[in-house]
Every structure is written in C-alpha cells, then in structure tokens.
A and B are shown apart, each in its own frame.
Chain A
C-alpha cells in the first residue's frame, strides 16, 4: 500500500525556519518525481515545489523561490522541504504528493498533510 507521511510542521515565528519531511513506503520511491503542495486555511491548493526522481531537477513556485529548498534521500525513501525566512502567508497545510501517472504532474497519492503556522 502506498503511503506518504508528512512530519515537521508546527508553530514558528516570522523569519524563522522549519524542515518538513515526507516518509514514503509501499512503492519504489526512487522512481517517482515528487512535489510539495500547500493549502492555506480555508483556501485552495497551491503547488510549491517539484523534484525529479534523481533529485537533479528542481523547480519552485515564485512565492517560495529563494526561501524554500526541496530535497530527497532515495536511500531513506524520504522527501524534505527546508523552509527559511518564513512569512505569515506561508501558513498552510503542506502536502507531499507523488507524481504517479506518466510523470506528468498528475498527483495520484498524497500524504495527510502537516500544518505550518507562522505567527508571533
């Protein structure tokens, strides 16, 4: 059974940092592109970042570029999101999502999400 389990969320002050993790199981993690998608409270979905299966290709949404860093450890079946210089507008539930169909941006599995709250 495919499982994605996020962790690392919490309350952080503006300007602070947080590192999210996503533990994958039930599939060959190293064969799949992965993404982070976030959802502010009561709002819609926003794509945040993409990483290729090998980790060699990375993209970011303009809203987080220069502040967030996506990475992965295929030996540990894990995906990460390092978030620096956090702002109030980064407050959201963060989901990791598998790019599972033709590596085309179709997210067939999602984690349960981890809540990041940026507030003083």
Chain B
C-alpha cells in the first residue's frame, strides 16, 4: 500500500506556480521522497527526489518539511504540457525495493 496521501485533483492557471502537496507522516528515517508524473497513455516520468534537504532541478523544486512528514512539489511556471497525474512516493534505498504507486494528484493546467 502507498504510504502517501495526495489530493485527488488540482487546477492551476497557465504561467503560475503549481504547488502539489503530499503527506507522508509515517515516513522512516532512511526513506526518500520521489515525485513522478504520468501524462495520459505514457509511462511515468521521473521528476525529482530528496531525503531531507530541499532539492531543485530543471523541472521542479521539492520542499520537504523539517519533520519530513510532508513535502511539496513546485512547478514554477506551469504550462499546458504539465497537465498530468503526479505521484508522490516514499522508498527505502534498497536495490530491489520497487516504487509503490498511490492514486496521485491529477493536475489540470488551464489556459
């Protein structure tokens, strides 16, 4: 079972920042937080991951609270192509441990 809770859907205006929340209150000390997104009829796309520090890459920023019980994925300037289902997943860094997907958040970017 997924160990994260996300809102089922969100809307965001094109050009604005999209802030997607995720609760992972039972996260253990060595579990990482991963974010993926799935555009319709495609495989999931890796976005970003982190352990406790905030992370930023060319796609997004990941803000993890100090107690690590929640995080926020930020898409700084959302475009129509960012419309997708976004998954927040926690995982222990062990080679055989798979990503377990919950229901995610369906983000709709509106023109």
Chain A complexes with chain B: no
Which A residues lie at the B interface, using CB under 8 A?
none
